[in-house]
Amino acid sequence: MRVELRRLATLVDSLRAEVERLRAAGRDEEAGDALARLRAAAEAAAAEGGAGDPEAEEPREFVGRQRSLQALNPEISVNADIFAHLNKDDTGEDNFIPREFEISLISNLDPFSRAKIFVSRHVEGGELAPFESAHEHGHEEGGGFAVEEGYIEWVGLPGGVGLKVGRFFQQFGQLNRWHSHALPFQTRSLPHLAFIGEESLSQTGVSMHWLAPFGGASGTYEATVEVTRRESEVLFGDSDGMAALVHLNGFWTLSEATDLDLGVSWIRGRFEEEDVLADRTLWGVEGAFHWRPPGRSRYRGLMVRGGLMVLDGLVPHDDDGAGTEPTEEHDLAGHALGVWSLAELRLSRSWLVGARFDRTENPLDPDETAWLVSPTLSWWQSEFVRLRAEYDLMGRSFVTGREGRLLLQVTFAMGPHKHETY
């Protein structure tokens, strides 16, 4: 543009000088013709970029070869989960707990792949422990930052295939992939706490996702296969070999306002801890029903979700302290069943009420059971800030009485990555 402006300015100056010369010579009529030619040349230059002037050089297009450094920066976000709780059965317990601060880094590396890294600092306190053994294994002491997830994924491979490599929340149902600040309740389900631990099932390996080309209007179907290193202490003990996971899922739109989601998950690996040795299998069935009236989905809605989890294959210690291979006699020793359910009703744009009920058996002693009932009231100040009141009432078959506590929770998000769900 600067080159073109200089060229036009030179043309105007030359024509103006010609007009003044003709007027000085008393040739006003010719000067008028020169002015007319000046106006015509200006109009032609404006309309055609100077193409009307035979002496004008060809316009040159400027192409920048540099890359924007800002475009190379990843999306950086911070999520926080802070709560206060009152437990009348344990008045000496910490009441205010900054449970988690999470930093997320997300970047599209190129047109074919993207990377996600989630680093979090988790602080102990206020956990729900249906059975003490699961609590002891399920959580490491907080205080430092650790990588929750860090992986690269290819989402546009031929045949509807997606590939993920790194450390990730595994596709054992849907809720396992949700980060804690995005959960509809302050903890994961009791079966999850007893069979997997307080955190998501997160391991390092490779995940392949396939979206089926059939279905169309009748439904959408997908399958996920994952091979990972065994890193869950609750599920696999001290074993560090390989584990395999398969997840099948179907989604159906029942009407303009309702949809249904059903999935089945299976994971298998070797459990090793001191003298205990076994092949361990965890099954899961999960379903979700959503109602969102068209045009009113931000003000009215209902979500109902539930599932069943079955754990098999733990071998106990022998009386003499020696470990044994799994036998038919021991197969039932690690068998445990858990069910969970939750619902949330949207009353307005900002207010939601919810409730859940969970019940699970102890994987180390199926005669021990625990149940949990939790009503909630949530207020979304905005999409960045959520405040929630929750009352947890837990009962255990091996403990006299019930444990109740009131919880007030605040979660907030800074940046583009908010309370992400899948």
Tell me the DSSP string of 353-411: EEEEEEEEEETTEEEEEEEEEEEEEEEEEETTEEEEEEEEEEEETTSSSEEEEEEEEEE
Per-residue model confidence (pLDDT) at position 119: 95
Residue with the larger pLDDT of the pair 402 and 215 = 402
Q: Return the exposure string of 231-266: e unless at least 16 CB atoms fall within 10 Å of the residue's CB, then b.
A: bbbbbbbebeeebebebebbeeeeeebebebebbbe
One-letter amino acid at 208 equals M
Distance CA 57, CA 51 (A): 9
Question: What are the helix (H) ranges across 139-263?
Answer: 190-195, 233-236
234 band by pLDDT with thresholds 50, 70 and 90 = confident
- What mean pLDDT comes out for the span 37-66? 59
75-414 under CATH 2.40.160.10, yes or no? yes
- Out of 140-154, 168-182, 221-235, pick the least confident: 140-154
- Out of 28-37, 69-78, 398-407, pick the least confident: 28-37
**In the block, which residue shows the tokens 């021990």?**
368
Per-residue model confidence (pLDDT) at position 139: 44
- Out of 10-14, 245-249, 325-329, 383-387, pick the least confident: 325-329
What are the domain boundaries of the chain?
2-48, 75-414
φ, ψ at 272 (rounded to 5°)? -140, 125
Distance CA 369, CA 190 (A): 10
Assign residue 47 a region (left: φ > 0; alpha: ψ between -120 and 50; beta: otherwise): alpha
pLDDT above 60: residue 75: yes
91 band by pLDDT with thresholds 50, 70 and 90 = low
One-letter amino acid at 310 equals V
β-bridge partners, 252: 260
Distance CA 58, CA 15 (A): 21
pLDDT above 90: residue 13: no
Give percent above pLDDT 90 in the chain: 50
Per-residue model confidence (pLDDT) at position 52: 45
Q: What is the average pLDDT score of the chain?
A: 83
**In the block, which residue shows the tokens 């706490």?**
193
| DSSP string across 19-85 | HHHHHHTT-HHHHHHHHHHHHHHHHHHHHHTTTT-TTPPPP---------HHHHSPEEEEEEEEEEE
Query: Which residues are CB-contacts of 98 (< 8 A; sequence separation ≥ 6)?
Result: 80, 81, 82, 123
The pLDDT tens digits for 314-373 are: 655 444 444 445 444 444 456 899 999 999 999 999 999 999 999 999 988 888 999 999
Per-residue model confidence (pLDDT) at position 27: 67
The pLDDT tens digits for 277-317 are: 888 999 999 999 999 999 898 999 999 999 999 998 765 54
- Out of 1-15, 75-89, 259-273, 342-356, pick the least confident: 1-15
pLDDT above 90: residue 20: no
φ, ψ at 358 (rounded to 5°)? -130, 150
Distance CA 275, CA 325 (A): 10
Per-residue model confidence (pLDDT) at position 266: 97
418 band by pLDDT with thresholds 50, 70 and 90 = low
**End-to-end CA separation in angstroms for the chain:** 48
Per-residue model confidence (pLDDT) at position 205: 97
pLDDT above 60: residue 233: yes
Chain-centroid distance of CA 57 in Å reads: 56
Per-residue model confidence (pLDDT) at position 365: 85
Q: Which of 67-76, 247-256, 317-326 has the highest mean pLDDT?
A: 247-256
Distance CA 194, CA 131 (A): 7
Q: How many CB atoms sit inside 10 A of residue 398's CB?
A: 11
Assign residue 277 a region (left: φ > 0; alpha: ψ between -120 and 50; beta: otherwise): beta
